């Protein structure tokens, strides 16, 4: 369970709504039980259940002991050509669970224009999906998400400024590119990844990213769905990063 710092008073918190329902109905907790807790952008630890009201509206009072750091700071950011809304919801949740610093949602020639009108792109909605992913992983570091409706302005104006933050930049592109395995070697540093739209990057987009410093990489002969490619790429890099 992820708490807002303002909710905590004297190392104690009173939960209601969805979070109390979760503790009472899903975890079937009893007074004295311990649940994992994190403070948004802060520490993680445990909450001991001191009081629990089972009848709706349910409530749970927890005594907190939060002294551990969340899992390692993410050193992976992702540029993602805006996918369809239903897929974006899943990707946002999963990225927050896997650990990501920033997500840049960008336009590309094969992104459907209507995707930009989706309600999932409201900052509040994105935040809810990110928080759910963080809670899943007992992490507290809220990833940043930014929207870039023009491919060229993003690549020509913003990317040159961003590039200094990254030690490696890789764009996933099926076909002739070398396999990630032979291109990416273990080591420290920040990595920026790029995954294309369902219809793929076009030649101009891959060339522009390559000119901006990205190395095109293949994830193998199988063409993966966007969300699968995101997870595979993230997993392969983070395993090697942490080795």
Q: Which residues bind ligand SAM (CB under 6 A)?
A: 172-174, 195-196, 198, 200-201, 218-220, 222-226, 229
In the complex with ligand SAM, which residue's Cβ is closer, 136 or 218? Answer: 218
Burial of 236 (0-12, 13-18, 19+ CB in 10 A): middle
In the complex with ligand SAM, which residue's Cβ is closer, 70 or 174? Answer: 174
In the complex with ligand SAM, which residue's Cβ is closer, 22 or 110? Answer: 110
Cβ(239)–Cβ(145) below 8 Å: no
Q: Token digits for 146?
A: 């930014």
Q: Is 125 helix (H, G, I), strand (E, B) or coil?
A: helix
In the complex with ligand SAM, which residue's Cβ is closer, 190 or 202? Answer: 202
Nearest approach, Cβ of 68 to ligand SAM (angstroms)? 36
Nearest approach, Cβ of 145 to ligand SAM (angstroms)? 19
Nearest approach, Cβ of 200 to ligand SAM (angstroms)? 2
Task: Answer whether the bond into residue 193 is a cis peptide, omega within 30°.
Answer: no
In the complex with ligand SAM, which residue's Cβ is closer, 133 or 196? Answer: 196
DSSP 30-83: -TT-EEEEEETTS-EEEEEEEEEE-SSSPEEEEEEEEEEPPS----EEEEEE--
Nearest approach, Cβ of 194 to ligand SAM (angstroms)? 7
Nearest approach, Cβ of 134 to ligand SAM (angstroms)? 25
* Beta-ladder partners of 171: 194, 216
* Beta-ladder partners of 169: 192
In the complex with ligand SAM, which residue's Cβ is closer, 215 or 218? Answer: 218
Q: Which residues, including other chains, have CB under 8 Å from residue 201's CB and lie 6 or more apart? A: 81, 108, 110, 171, 173, 209
Nearest approach, Cβ of 231 to ligand SAM (angstroms)? 11
Task: Output DSSP code: residue 26.
Answer: I
């Amino acid at each position: 369970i992820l708490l807002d710092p303002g909710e905590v008073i004297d190392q104690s918190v009173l939960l209601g709504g969805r979070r109390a329902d979760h503790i009472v109905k899903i975890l079937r907790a009893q007074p004295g039980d311990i649940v994992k807790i994190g403070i948004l952008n802060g520490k993680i630890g445990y909450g001991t259940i001191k009081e629990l009201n089972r009848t709706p509206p349910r409530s749970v009072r927890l005594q907190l002991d939060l002294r551990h750091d969340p899992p390692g700071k993410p050193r992976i950011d992702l540029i993602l050509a805006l996918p369809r809304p239903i897929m974006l919801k899943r990707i946002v949740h999963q990225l927050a669970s896997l650990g990501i610093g920033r997500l840049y949602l960008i336009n590309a020639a094969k992104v459907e224009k209507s995707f930009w009108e989706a309600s999932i792109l409201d900052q509040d909605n994105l935040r809810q999906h990110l928080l759910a992913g963080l809670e899943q992983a007992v992490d507290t570091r809220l990833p940043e998400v930014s929207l870039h409706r023009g491919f060229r302005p993003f690549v020509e104006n913003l990317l040159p400024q961003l590039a200094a933050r990254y030690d490696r930049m890789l764009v996933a592109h099926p076909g002739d590119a070398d396999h990630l395995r032979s291109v990416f070697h273990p080591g420290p540093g920040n990595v920026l990844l790029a995954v294309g739209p369902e219809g793929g990057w076009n030649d101009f987009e891959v060339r522009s990213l390559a000119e901006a410093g990205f190395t095109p990489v293949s994830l193998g002969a199988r063409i993966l769905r966007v969300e699968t490619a995101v997870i595979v790429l993230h997993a392969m890099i983070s395993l090697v990063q942490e080795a």
